[in-house]
DNA sequence: CGGCGTCCTTAACTTTTGTTGGAACCGGGC
DNA sequence: GCCCGGTTCCAACAAAAGTTAAGGACGCCG
């Protein structure tokens, strides 16, 4: 994979959400990135760790999570190529949660100092990355609402819908279907329910002809019903520079 | 209230969490602020609004929330004097949630342009505000875990505990008690449970001699039990500049 | 000081979700 | 081909939380 392809998804995403000048793009392209491969289901950055670099997802799916004293785990967000899930570590020096892979991944590591220097040199770039962390924050807010207020079937539909919208941006939705490589255990951890209940809910959505979930791939069977159930308003994704 | 007192809580909070140079402090003190008074239970910034200023809480309690199609409301965070709950509106132009008062409040409004100019002039100040929005984000992550994984009594204890830690920073904890001016309806909205169930949980904590909640004031009856129940690890508040 | 509205409180009942335990399925390694 | 481990799937039962309904406390205002 040529070096510019590595950065392409990142630039494309930042461009669509924030707008970038040519010089900004050039500067971002010039950032040194160390590429590493990780197998599926592997921690990348640990809770409690003091990070000195950020992690760009080049290929594969990741998730962020926190584990509480009782051993229960909550998935906080899902991440796809072009995203930097731990950008926050730039200023929050010790990690308060974990970043791990869901599938096998190609990840690019960008040094904190390099990023900070770029920000001082080009405040406009800093603002774009700041905005990116704010969108991340907006997604957490919606995740709170999802887990706090929606019944389990709507929760699942909403998470699927959000993932689809984000995958669409990077051209990864194929007709009525897209990837969502989580086990039912992980789906439960994302929705704040048990794996058994996750299974019930998945079955229910299948039986009602709304969505099919098989082998880490979602297929929407009835778009109208899916929309109704998900109760999705994508404003919180702030996908346009003016929103 | 003299002008420096208005800014005092903000500076104090930023100082303890990030460290500020004297020049930075002077610049922040110099920001023009328009003070306004709001009654209790009043929206300050609406969902969908395009904001041109940020809101500093000088006195009183606020909350952020989102309302879904079914009419259910989820409280996302509580806010106390010295905080700028809608700092994110600097770069997320249209609000994806609502900011409203819980009690009657004295609020100070700071123009976006003034802030942006300050950031360009002093990148170090920008970084401190950026970090502040990242801490906000970290609090959302913990809120997700709370609502998603903890049983209702632990949820309540955890929210109380977080509020106490933050109030402590601004010198607002009096012995074993502190303010938490929410109705049981609002507590339910914060914890993702119904008001009736919130009442059950509050009663349970009282009967077990853990905490008393009366007239918007929390009194901790048994610190040990309270700690155990809340399962609180304050790292996510990132209260020290190095954390 | 009496009436009104909001909040708090409680009980009885329903629904959702969790728990336990086990069977079927499936892919990868031997 | 066959075993093994992880996932998926399912049912029966238990616990947690939601719903509905109604009485009581309290402060505010006329």
The CATH code of the domain that includes A89 is 2.60.120.10
State the smallest CA–CA distance between residue B225 and chain A in angstroms.
15
Q: How confident is the model over B212-233, as a mean pLDDT? A: 96
Q: Are residues B65 and B178 in the same domain?
A: no
| pLDDT for the residue numbered B5 | 79
Q: Which of A142, A172, A201 is the last residue of a domain?
A: A142
pLDDT at A51 over 70: yes
Whether B141 and A145 lie within 8 Å, measured CB to CB: no
Q: Is the residue at B242 inside a domain?
A: no
Please name which of A53, A59, A60, A44 lies closest in space to residue A100, comparing C-alpha atoms. Answer: A44
Residues of B in contact with A119 (CB under 8 A): 123, 127
Indicate the pLDDT class of residue B51, thresholds 50, 70 and 90. very high
Q: Tell me, yes or no, whether A132 and A26 share the same domain.
A: yes
Which positions in strand D are less than 7 Å from the protein's CB atoms? 6-12, 16-21
Determine the nucleotide nearest to A191 by Cα–C1' distance: C17
Q: Answer whether residue B4 shows pLDDT above 80.
A: no
Pairing label, strands B98-101, B177-179: unpaired
Regarding whether B200 and B111 lie in a shared domain, the answer is: no
- What is the band of A3 on the pLDDT scale with cuts at 50, 70, 90? low
| B11 and B123 part of one domain | yes
Domain that holds residue A22: 3-142
Read off the pLDDT of residues A11-50 as tens digits, 9 standing for 90 and up: 999 998 888 899 999 999 999 999 999 999 999 999 999 9
Query: Are residues B137 and B38 part of one domain?
Result: yes
Looking at the structure, tell me whether residues B25 and B70 fall in a common domain.
yes
What confidence tier does B50 reach under pLDDT thresholds 50, 70, 90? Answer: very high
- DSSP-derived 3-state class of residue B144: helix
Residue A60 to chain B, least CA–CA distance (Å): 23
With respect to residue A242, please indicate whether it lies within any of the assigned structural domains.
Answer: no
Whether B137 is covered by a domain: the verdict is yes
Tokens coding B230: 């809340």
Q: Does A102 lie in the same domain as A31?
A: yes
Domain boundary among B72, B107, B142: B142
Q: pLDDT tens, A94-125?
A: 999 999 999 999 999 999 999 999 999 999 99
Whether residue A27 is contained in a domain is answered as yes
Q: Indicate the pLDDT class of residue A243, thresholds 50, 70 and 90.
A: confident
In a domain, B226, yes or no: yes
Max Cα–Cα distance, chain B, nearest Å: 56
Over 80: is that where the pLDDT of A1 sits?
no
**Do residues A115 and A230 share a domain?**
no
Specify the 3-state DSSP secondary structure of A75.
strand
- What are the tens digits of pLDDT across the range A118-153? 999 999 999 999 999 999 999 999 999 999 999 999
Residue A234: what pLDDT? Answer: 96
**Minimal CA separation from B152 to chain A, in Å:** 11
A201 domain residue, yes or no: yes
CB pairs under 8 A between A and B: 140
Residue A243 lies inside a defined structural domain of this protein: no
A101 and A133 part of one domain: yes
A34 plus A101 within the same structural domain: yes
| Residues B128, B212 within the same domain | no
> What is the tally of structural domains in chain B?
2
Last residue of a domain, one of A142, A169, A190: A142
Q: How far is CA B201 from CA B26, B154, B156, B198, B215, in A?
A: 47, 9, 8, 5, 16
Q: Note whether residue B243 is domain-resident.
A: no
Span B136-175, pLDDT tens digits: 999 999 999 999 999 999 999 999 999 999 999 999 999 9
Q: If we measure between CA atoms, which residue out of B95, B119, B134, B48 comes closest to residue A136? A: B134
Say whether both A205 and A225 belong to one domain.
yes
- Quick check: A110 and A30 in contact, CB under 8 A? no
Distance B38 CA to C6 C1' (A): 20
């Amino acid at each position: 994979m040529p070096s510019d392809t590595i950065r392409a998804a990142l630039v494309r995403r930042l461009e669509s959400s924030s707008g970038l000048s040519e010089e900004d793009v050039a500067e971002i392209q010039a950032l040194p990135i160390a590429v590493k491969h990780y197998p599926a289901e592997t921690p990348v950055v640990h809770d409690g760790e003091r990070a000195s670099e950020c992690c760009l997802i080049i290929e594969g799916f990741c998730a962020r999570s926190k584990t509480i004293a009782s051993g229960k785990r909550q998935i906080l967000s899902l991440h796809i190529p072009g995203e930097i899930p731990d950008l926050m570590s730039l200023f929050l020096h010790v990690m308060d949660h974990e970043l791990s892979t869901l599938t096998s991944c190609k990840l690019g590591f960008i040094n904190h100092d390099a990023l900070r220097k770029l920000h001082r040199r080009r405040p406009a770039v800093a603002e774009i990355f700041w905005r990116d962390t704010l969108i991340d924050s907006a997604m957490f807010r919606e995740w709170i609402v999802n887990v706090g207020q929606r019944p389990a079937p709507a929760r699942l539909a909403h998470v699927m819908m959000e993932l689809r919208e984000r995958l669409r941006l990077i051209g990864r939705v194929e007709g009525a279907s897209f990837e969502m490589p989580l086990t039912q255990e992980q789906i439960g951890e994302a929705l704040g329910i048990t794996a058994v209940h996750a299974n019930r809910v998945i079955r229910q959505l299948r039986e009602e002809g709304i969505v099919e979930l098989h082998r880490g791939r979602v297929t929407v069977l009835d778009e109208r019903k899916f929309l109704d159930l998900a109760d999705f308003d994508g404003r919180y994704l702030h996908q346009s520079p003016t929103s």
